[in-house]
Amino acid sequence: MVKLKRKICLGIECTAHTFGVSILDFDGNVLSIVNDTYIPETGGLHPREVREHHLECFDKTITIAIKQANLSMKDIDLIAFSQGPGLGPVLRVGALIVRFLSQELKIPLIGVNHCIGHIEIGRLKCGLKDPLTLYVSGGNTIISAFESESYQIFGETLDIAVGNFIDAFARDAGLQHPGGPKIEKLAQKSKKYIPLPYIVKGMDLSFSGLYTAVKNLLKSKDYNRRYNLGDIAYSLQETAFAMLTEVTERALAHTNKTEVLLTGGVAANKRLQEMIAYISHEHNAKYSVVPLKYAGDNGAMIGWTGILKYKEVGADNIKDTTINPKWRMDNVEIPWRS
Amino acid sequence: MNNNPVIDLDRIIYTGAEATLYKGKWFDKEVLVKHRRPKKYRIEDLDKKLRRTRTIIEGKMLISVKKCNVPVPQVFEVDLNNNWLIMKYIKGQKLKDLIGKIDKSKRKWYFEQIGKYIAFMHKNDFIHGDLTTSNIIITRNEKIFFVDFGLSTKSIKIEDKSVDLHLIKRVLRSTHGQYFEECFESLINSYKLEYGSKSDEIIDRIETIESRGRYIEKNKRKN
């Protein structure tokens, strides 16, 4: 008997600091997942430097991923890539690489929305049907749920993303990028709350005023006298995460969903997990956080979303694979769920 | 937990995200008691401050906007020991649950009324702060009531009034997509009619606020 060959997808994530590659089969089994993340020595992410980094590491990263999956390039049936949103120069590099591979090796190509990738990998890995999602990362702060044929945005930041805010503050405090995990560690040592601006508008949030306030605390003469960096880190987390939790709870009550999904890089934070789990229980909703290796940007989320889309509508024409740095997720059609 | 001598709590009638609503008796009146529950996920300092200020704001605002002919429940008492707001009991259902069950002309009528009332608020510089279809109650004899003023503010700024309209616009689009255009059009038309020519700037600003959102394509951006 001839064994049907399983179909394989190569997923490539290239929107920001992570060049992520993953090999997975069409049933959602992840065969390998390899990330190469750019870490600046000082300062934040400069799009040009990130681009250089990705250009240098892409072939090695793809080769390792294929090797780890015990496959070769000719086993690949589909290439999925992140078409947006993200940093323009970085997206362009990603598109360049995948278009080359697709045309050279005659493999169908499909572009997917990065934000939807986060939700879809969460649904797959946590076994969820229809969750309310809190997606928090360096570039995004979105509360979303599936309604009327697409992933609607119920709340989002009106200015900067929560991860961006925490990283930027950490940088001002002299910590190296990424600052989130370091802030979390520092916060665990303190119990001293300094009142900070708390800004919620309906289901939307604003972090820029909070950022200014914590930055001013660093400059104050009371710094390292009345309070230290740990106290600021603690107050910052308590305020920002309470805001996120409040709007998530409000969206949960509004949409009546019975599942809550926490995803994105900031989802790794234990304190945020604790808060979101708490409100989920209060509303009798199932709480899930995406497993750590799928929480930050990765190729598997892109590959899986590509597979879902490919099964419904087939591959993209090469001329439809132009990048879209400002692509909103509520504009994307979701044929696999309608 | 009840240490208020003039009130009897009868039963819970609704549990929202922020507050629990009880039916009760205040002296001999039938009332609704809105209790902002302690939120254990946030630290006590922050929790106390938020619940107290929002209860005060909501009480004050309900009284203020009622004077501008906006239909809101009458406030009887603001009990800060318990973070209770004691109001007239209004029986009805959320607009959110009703919107799909009524015909098009009725929807039009409701949203014209709503637009008019929002204009009443804004003309007097009151900003609701959380305009959603869950925060508008319709009674059995088709009366409209605005509730949930916990995030409201007083402001003369065009920006704040526009954000208010932007919030209801987005809720209509995300939750009631199929009725979005007809409902929002009725709302805006009657808002304009009631507010007068000064409303143009407020309505124009909605688009600017939307274009500020993350990931709006460049060519749709203003300026």
Q: Residue B33: pLDDT above 90?
A: yes
Tell me, yes or no, whether A301 and A287 share the same domain: no
Distance of alpha carbon A28 from alpha carbon A47, whole angstroms: 32
CA atoms within 13 A on the CB side of A60: 7
State the pLDDT at residue B215.
52
Tell me, yes or no, whether A302 and A271 share the same domain: no
Q: What is the ipTM of this complex?
A: 0.83
A-B Cβ pairs (cutoff 8 Å, strict): 92
Residue A94 lies in a domain: yes
Residue A123 lies in a domain: no
Q: Are strands B126-127 and B92-94 parallel, antiparallel or unpaired?
A: unpaired
State the pLDDT at residue B17.
83
Tell me, yes or no, whether A164 and A99 share the same domain: no
For A201-222, what is each residue's pLDDT tens digit? 888 899 999 999 999 999 999 9
Tell me, yes or no, whether A143 and A273 share the same domain: yes
Chain A nearest C-alpha distance from B119 (Å):
19
Which residue among A154, A198, A279 sits closest to B41, beta carbon to beta carbon?
A279
Tell me, yes or no, whether A198 and A231 share the same domain: yes
Which residue in the list B8, B28, B47, B130 is annotated as catalytic?
A: B130
Tell me, yes or no, whether A213 and A321 share the same domain: no
Taking CA–CA distances from B40, the nearest residue in chain A reads A278
Catalytic residue check, B130: yes
The ranges assigned to domains in chain B are 7-88, 92-220
Q: Which residues of chain A fall below pLDDT 70? A: 1-4
Q: Is the CB of B42 less than 8 angstroms away from the CB of A85?
A: no
State the pLDDT at residue B213.
60
Tell me, yes or no, whether A148 and A257 share the same domain: yes
State the pLDDT at residue B4.
82
State the pLDDT at residue A1.
56
CA atoms within 13 A on the CB side of A165: 26
Assign domain B92-220 one CATH number from 3.40.50.720, 3.40.50.150, 1.10.10.60, 1.10.510.10: 1.10.510.10
Residue A111 lies in a domain: yes
Q: Is the CB of A278 less than 8 angstroms away from the CB of B50?
A: no
3 state DSSP class of A204: strand
End-to-end CA distance of chain A: 36
Tell me, yes or no, whether A55 and A141 share the same domain: no
Give chain B positions within 8 Å (CB) of A327. 215
Query: What mean pLDDT is reported for chain A?
Result: 93
Mean pLDDT over B134-163 rounds to 93
CA atoms within 13 A on the CB side of B38: 8
Q: Is the CB of A198 less than 8 angstroms away from the CB of B175?
A: no
For A166-196, what is each residue's pLDDT tens digit? 999 999 999 987 899 999 999 999 999 999 9
Taking CA–CA distances from B41, the nearest residue in chain A reads A275
Tell me, yes or no, whether A146 and A261 share the same domain: yes
What CATH number corresponds to the domain at position A97?
A: 3.30.420.40
Give chain B positions within 8 Å (CB) of A195. 45-46, 49
Count of structural domains within chain A: 2
State the pLDDT at residue B1.
59
Tell me, yes or no, whether A163 and A304 share the same domain: no
Residue A125 lies in a domain: no
For B60-109, what is each residue's pLDDT tens digit? 999 999 999 999 999 999 999 999 999 999 999 999 999 999 999 999 99
State the pLDDT at residue B221.
41
List the domain range (segments joined by +) for residue A137: 130-294
Note the CATH number of domain B7-88.
3.30.200.20
Residue of A219, A251, A250 lying closest to A232 (CA atoms): A219
Helices (H), chain A: 47-68, 88-105, 114-126, 162-172, 180-188, 208-219, 229-255, 270-282, 292-295, 299-313
Q: Residue B219: pLDDT above 60?
A: no
DSSP per residue, chain B: ----TTEEEEEEEEE-SSEEEEEEEETTEEEEEEEE---TTS-HHHHHHHHHHHHHHHHHHHHHHHHTT---PPEEEEETTTTEEEEE---EEEHHHHTTTS-HHHHHHHHHHHHHHHHHHHHTTEE-S---TTSEEEETT--EEE---TT-EE---HHHHHHHHHHHHHHHHHHSGGGHHHHHHHHHHHHHHHH-TTHHHHHHHHHHHHHHSTT--GGGS--
Chain A nearest C-alpha distance from B21 (Å):
14
DSSP per residue, B62-123: HHHHHHTT---PPEEEEETTTTEEEEE---EEEHHHHTTTS-HHHHHHHHHHHHHHHHHHHH
For B186-197, what is each residue's pLDDT tens digit? 999 999 999 999
